[in-house]
Structures are given as C-alpha cells and as structure tokens.
Amino acid sequence: MHYFGKDVSKISIAQGAVLAAITQYPAKYNPYSPENLKNPEKLLNRQKIVLEKMYELGKINKQQYDEACNEKIVFTKAQSTSQTAYQWFIEPAEKQVAKDFAAKYGISTSEAQQKLRTGGYTIHLTLDQDIQKKAEEAINDDKKYPKIKDSNMSTWASNANDPKLIQPQASAALLDPKTGEVLALVGGRGKHPLLSYNRATDIPRQPGSSIKPISVYAPGIETKTITPATIIDDSPMPDDFVAKNNGWNPQNYDGKFSGNVTVREAIRRSINIPAVKVELMLGANTSIDFLKNKFHISTIVTSGSTNDKNAPALALGGLSKGTTPLEMAAAYGVFVNGGVYSEPYFYTEVTDSKGNVILEKKPNQQRVLSQKTAYIMCDMLKTVIQSGTGTMAKLGPMPAGGKTGTSESHTNGWFAGITPYYSCVVWMGHDSNQYPITNRYWKDENGKGHPATANLDLVGGTCAPIWKEIMLKAHEGLPVKDFTRPSDIVTVKICPASGKVATDKCPNAYNEIFIPGTEPVAMCDIHSISTEPAEKEKPDKGNEEAPEEGKQNNATP
C-alpha cells in the first residue's frame, strides 16, 4: 500500500515487478528518494529485468509480458489509515517472532507469519511506550536538522555549498544491555507506512569514528596491546604505509597533528591517526575477530576484492557494507554489561488464545570482554561527553559515555552512547548516501543567508541532541549511579606527555586506570625527575574541552 495505494493482492504484474525490484536494494530503488523522484530510470530498468526473468521462467506469457512492459507506473502513497502506532518497532518484532516460530515448529517463515496473523496469538513486546513516543518525537523534531522552509522531507533547502541539500533521514535504537531487551526503535523521520524499510535495522551504513571503541580500543585494552595511558604519535603516516594502501593517506578531521597523545586523549578528541596506528599494532585479523565474533557486527566482509581487512574500514569505520543502529547499540551495551554481549530481542513471549505460552524469548548472552576492559572503556567514553566531541550529549548528573561518528564526505552521522542503564545509538543521513548532512549556510525564502545553528555544524554532533532528548526521557525517575568499577582496577598518577608515572614536575598529571599488571612503573623522563610525589591529583578527564569533531582544534594536550 505504501507504493500503489492498494493491497498487494490487487496489484498488477508490472507493479509486482516494481516491488520485487525495490526489495532487492531498498535504499537504491526507493521510488521516493530524491534521485528516483527526478529520474526513475534505474528503478524501471530493474523492473524490466524482473519482468524478463518472470517471462523466461514461464511465470507469465508473452502477452502479459508485453502488457506489463507497456504499463505506466504511477506511485500512490497509502492514506493515513495504513499507519499503525509504534510500527517502527512492531515490524522488526514480528519478523523476529516469525523466525523463532518457524525454527521451533519446523516450518517456513512465510508459514509462520500466516499462522501468527490468523491463529489468535498475542505477542508480548519489550517495548517501553513512553521511551518509544519520546524517541519518535525527537527523531521528528525539525529543529534538530538543517534549516528548511517546512517539514516536508521532499523540500530542497538552499545551501552555499550545495543548492540542492535535501533533508536527511534519521533512526535510533535503545536497549537494556543487561538483558538485550529493545525498548525503543525508530526507523525514520515522518509517519511509518506499512512495510516500508527500517533504517535502524535494515539499512547498514558506514559508522565512521563510532566504530573505534569496538574495532580498535576495546580490542587493544583486552589484549593488553595498549592502556589508556599508552602514548601514540599523532603524526602523518609514513610513505611506505601510503604506498601499501593504494595511496590512502589518513588525516585528522581538522587537518592538524598533535604529536604524542595518550589513548584516552585520542578517544576524547576523536583523533584519527592514533586509531589507525593502534589498528596496525593489533592487526586486521584481531579487529575482525572482535567485530564479528564478540560485538556481533553481522555485515563485516572478510573475502573478495572489496573487504574490510584494511585500516580505512577497521580504524575509521569505512566498512564495505556498514552497520545498523541496532547492532551498534548491542555492541556498545557490552561495556555497560561488564563485558557480556546481550543479543537484542523485541518480545518476551507469545501466547495463544487460551493464554498458553507457545514461544518464549530469554536473554542470549556471551562474555566477550573482561569486566576490567569493559569498565575502562566506559570510563574513557565518559571523557568524550564530559569534555570531548560529545559534550552536547551531557545528561546532567547521570554519568554517560559515548562516541561521535562521521563517515567520509559527511554522508553519515552517528552518536553511540551509554549510561549505567541503557545503550542508545542515533544515525542521521540520506537514503541515497550521496548528499552530505552538514548545512553550514542556508537561505530563507527571501534569499537572506544565515549561518547554521551550532549543533548542526558537525555531522556527528547532529545526532547528539537527539540522543540526549531520548535518553533524558528514558532515565526519568531513575536514581543516579555510575558504571560498576571492578575492585582490582589499578589507579596511577601519570604524565600525559610521557604516559609514565608522574613526578611533582609534570604539568597536567592526572589519575589513570589500568588492568593490574599493565600500569606503568617507570618515572616520567620528559620533565625534571624528582623523588617527591606529584603535588596534587587531577581528574582523568583531560585538561581542556575538545572541539566538536570536524572543527578546528588548536589546543595541545
């Protein structure tokens, strides 16, 4: 009904071929995307291929084939009666139930779907209606997006860099890391037509820097390759690296280099070069193993001419296929849950008309990190929100950690964040994946130019205010608490210039945390050595606020 305004049983052969074409690649063949609205030839060419295959297989005869090829395709969106409350959540829940039902009773998924629709069953969802409502409101708040004349998503906005900057889409997923229960999920802006694709679960996108904690830094801490105090040289990559990587020469978002920085500082400011160098220390196979087998990112490509066994993919999030907000929320949930991965699920049980439980969903969990690694990651991610690239996501007194993410060409923005209670991820971008989100300059209907609002000047930062609004609602009435710290975590005052034990001569010394046995024992050899202890302790939050990812950063750590 979303495409032709009528039930699927009443569509023509030509229209059915269009639906088959769309499902092959929804993002590319979406008839309502900007490029397909202007030029639907790609979609119609794909429809012709489907019709040819149907004729070739004997599904239609020559007359039907000719008539279908000559039929004019007119798209008609369904009326509001086809909207269902919380449909963004319900559709993936129904898919999960049907899959589990089919597996339990040894039938096909389509048979399971039919039985569930007609058998008088009740599905008990994990949905939190209050959080879901707030998530939908936040995603649909036009103030969170580049300026437009109205809220119609097909309206083009004037922009100094691109006069045809169309409004981006967005999605979000929030879950309880302790169980894997999905509490809220929004697959796009605007109303949700039945059977439309869900950007939170169905459309993988490149995660940019938001992948660093799960592909580089958590693996590095877990394997004891690095600590939060490890010094990484933030300087240009050597020529032999560039040559081996087909000319790829990674840069930091501000085009500058900071010299020696700690791992904590690299995360706080989202510096790219240290992430690349840590990935090289780990090796591609280690990063791949953590992403696939521990954090359960299902879209990692490990073979073929285009695969993810490379630094651009693993260190900076340039994955071949990308990932989804739901998978990222589950991955970040590992840090909250003390190193235990909880598989996301949308329902707790299915009952028949008599109240008998015929299908039950329980947490499916796997320890993938040590408690100490998980806590250290939580603590470093807190730094990002307290004084780094994610300051717009602060939740008042509630401790929170997170990571911004911006893909190449600013086409995807992410904010992945955690609290002691929840994990939530917000994505923003275009269905076509061709247009940048950044809107640094816009013109009103009178042609007057205006600068973009501050929170829209950076792609990754565009998602943080949406994340904050959702999470504030989710935490209403909950007592303030911090992430659970293992009793055997070691604290040492270090010098951020050397990464070694600070003397009383070390400026900006601060307390750092370590897995026992990985803490430094050598005294700082950069500043004057003293037998006296450091004069006073400073919190381990860095010594200045970092700019938003994508802005100039002139500070020296």
Q: 383: helix, coil or strand? A: helix
- Could you tell me the residue range of the domain that residue 19 belongs to? 8-70
Q: How far apart are CA 218 and CA 106, in angstroms?
A: 39
pLDDT grade for 145, boundaries at 50, 70 and 90: confident
**CB atoms < 10 A from the CB of 229, how many?**
25
Burial 239-259 (b: 16+ CB within 10 A, else e): eebeeeeeebebebbbeeebe
* 58 within some domain: yes
- pLDDT (tens digit per residue) in 265-321: 999 999 999 999 999 999 999 999 999 999 999 999 999 988 999 988 899 999 999
* 23 within some domain: yes
User: Three-state SS string across 330-360, please?
Assistant: HHHHHHHCCCEEECCECEEEEECCCCCEEEE
Quote the pLDDT of residue 2.
Answer: 59
Q: 228: helix, coil or strand? A: coil
* 384 within some domain: no
Residue at 263: amino acid letter: V
Segment 449-468 mean pLDDT:
61
**CB atoms < 10 A from the CB of 527, how many?**
18
DSSP string, 151-209: S-TT-EE-BSS-TTEEPPEEEEEEE-TTT-BEEEEE-SSS--BTT---TTTT--B--GG
Q: How far apart are CA 345 and CA 340, in angstroms?
A: 15
* 65 within some domain: yes
Q: How far apart are CA 161 and CA 163, in angstroms?
A: 7
Helix runs in 5-147, H state only: 13-24, 26-29, 34-38, 41-56, 62-70, 87-105, 109-118, 129-139
Segment 434-463 mean pLDDT:
51
pLDDT grade for 551, boundaries at 50, 70 and 90: very low
Highest averaged pLDDT of the listed ranges 14-18, 379-383, 461-465: 379-383
Asked whether residue 10 carries a pLDDT value surpassing 90, the answer given is: no
Sheet strands (E) in 397-463: 401-406, 412-418, 423-429, 441-443, 449-451
* 332 within some domain: no
Highest averaged pLDDT of the listed ranges 20-29, 420-429, 524-533: 420-429
Structure tokens at 45: 């060419």
pLDDT grade for 449, boundaries at 50, 70 and 90: very low
Quote the pLDDT of residue 357.
Answer: 97
Residue at 370: amino acid letter: S
Which stretch of 100-109, 220-229, 346-355, 457-466 has the lowest confidence by average pLDDT? 457-466
The larger pLDDT score, comparing residue 420 to residue 410, is at 420
Quote the pLDDT of residue 179.
Answer: 98
Structure tokens at 75: 């798209």
Give, in order, the Cα–Cα distances in Å from 44 to each of 6, 24, 195, 351, 388. Answer: 20, 13, 20, 44, 47
* 308 within some domain: no
Quote the pLDDT of residue 22.
Answer: 79
Segment 530-537 mean pLDDT:
46
- pLDDT (tens digit per residue) in 471-501: 999 999 999 999 999 999 999 999 999 999 9
pLDDT grade for 84, boundaries at 50, 70 and 90: low
Residue at 230: amino acid letter: T
pLDDT grade for 166, boundaries at 50, 70 and 90: low
DSSP 73: P
Quote the pLDDT of residue 518.
Answer: 98
* 49 within some domain: yes
* 14 within some domain: yes
Structure tokens at 370: 């040590």
Highest averaged pLDDT of the listed ranges 134-148, 195-209, 434-448: 195-209
Quote the pLDDT of residue 253.
Answer: 85
Quote the pLDDT of residue 196.
Answer: 67
Quote the pLDDT of residue 157.
Answer: 40
What is the average pLDDT score of the chain?
A: 85
Q: How far apart are CA 201 and CA 214, in angstroms?
A: 19
Percent of the chain past pLDDT 90, that is, above it, reads 65
Q: How far apart are CA 436 and CA 111, in angstroms?
A: 42
The set of residues, in sequence order, having a beta carbon less than 8 Å from that of 487 and lying 6+ positions away, is none
- pLDDT (tens digit per residue) in 370-384: 999 999 999 999 999
Structure tokens at 143: 């103030």
Which stretch of 266-270, 341-345, 511-515, 544-548 has the lowest confidence by average pLDDT? 544-548
Counting the structural domains of the chain, the total is: 1
- pLDDT (tens digit per residue) in 182-214: 999 999 988 765 556 799 999 999 999 999 999
- Would you say the pTM of this structure is higher than 0.95? no
- pLDDT (tens digit per residue) in 245-271: 889 999 998 889 999 999 999 999 999
Percent of the chain past pLDDT 70, that is, above it, reads 80
Quote the pLDDT of residue 533.
Answer: 46
